[in-house]
Amino acid sequence: MESYYKLKKEIPLTNSILYIEIIRLLNLPIMGINLPNHFIVGYLNSKENHQYPNNYKFTKKDVKFYINPFSQGVMLKQEDVHDFIQEINVINNEYYYIPCPYSHITKRILTNLNFSYKKTDNILLKSDLKKIIALYH
């Protein structure tokens, strides 16, 4: 059961990372969107990646559409993301519609790993994961 849960949590995130990397290699503007309980990608309005400097603050308007890599790459509109947020009963937040920094993706991977190893007897592994996650706070 533990390994099933780990796969269930990691596959959508892994699929999203693969989409991001493959599409990035095609020089198309795509970034991760850190939804609660799900991770999707956003296709940005600009085809010129240099239009968004490193410290650029994204808004909803910067995302042309969303892609759900776990559902055969289905395209989503902003309204679909809004409906998902309401469905899982989470307070609506602008953060859920905009690209997240790569460090948030790494932290999410580590958090998922930490959660999936909660029932393990390997105390050192759990301790190390918590220390690494703490570096992101």
Q: To which residue do tokens 């991977």 refer? A: 109
Look at residue 1 in the predicted model and tell me its pLDDT.
45
pLDDT of residue 78: 97
Digit-coded pLDDT (tens) for 28-50: 999 999 999 889 999 998 756 55
Q: What is the mean pLDDT of residues 63-86?
A: 94
Judged against a pLDDT cut of 70, whether residue 9 lies above it is answered with no
DSSP 99: B
Other C-beta atoms closer than 10 Å to the C-beta of 38 total 18
Predicted local confidence at residue 4, as pLDDT:
45
CB 100 within 8 A of CB 32: yes
The predicted pLDDT at position 49 comes to 56
Q: Are 43 and 64 in contact (CB under 8 A)?
A: yes
CB burial class (10 A; 0-12, 13-18, 19+) of residue 14? Answer: middle
